[in-house]
Amino acid sequence: MQIAEEVRGDVTILRPVGPIDSAAAPRFEARLFAALAPATPDAPEKAPAGLVLDLSAVTQLTPAGLRSLLLAVRQARPGAGSTGGRSGVRIVLAAVPGPIRGVLEEAGLAALLESHGDLDAAVRAASRQ
């Protein structure tokens, strides 16, 4: 699995390509946590306002990938992690393929994550601006 990264204003965009399975989940999780972290530990306000996951090129999402996503959702909540009291990072999904949406719904994660049909709408939703 490859993961492209882009920053638009106060939003980080991650685009995983391929399956997010047990082999890819550790790398996916590490990239999620890195994207949620502030630029410097001394400046929690420098964390991105939002994280958009463009899932358009994800071909499979297994329980290992779901676990990574759930851990990221928990980390993104306000006050989570070692920076207690920060405002939190909003995670928004973009362009989720039908089969992946079904997996998210079955796991109950679809109810926790806002989703948009296209990347631009997701970026607008995730931004503080």
Question: What is the pLDDT confidence band of residue 37, given thresholds at 50, 70 and 90?
Answer: confident
Tell me which residue has tokens 């996503």: 69
pLDDT value at residue 46: 61
Neighbours of 112 (CB within 10 A): 13
> What percent of the chain is predicted at pLDDT more than 70?
84
This prediction's pTM: 0.87
Buried b (16+ CB within 10 A) or exposed e, 84-97: eebebbbbbbbbbe
Share of the chain residues as helix, strand and coil, in percent rounded to the nearest 5: 40, 25, 35
Strands (E), 21-128: 50-54, 58-61, 90-94, 114-116
- Rounded distance between C-alpha atoms, residue 103 and residue 125, angstroms: 23
Ranges of H-type helices in 13-97: 25-36, 63-76
Average pLDDT over residues 24-38: 92
> What percent of the chain is predicted at pLDDT more than 90?
74
Average pLDDT over residues 65-91: 75
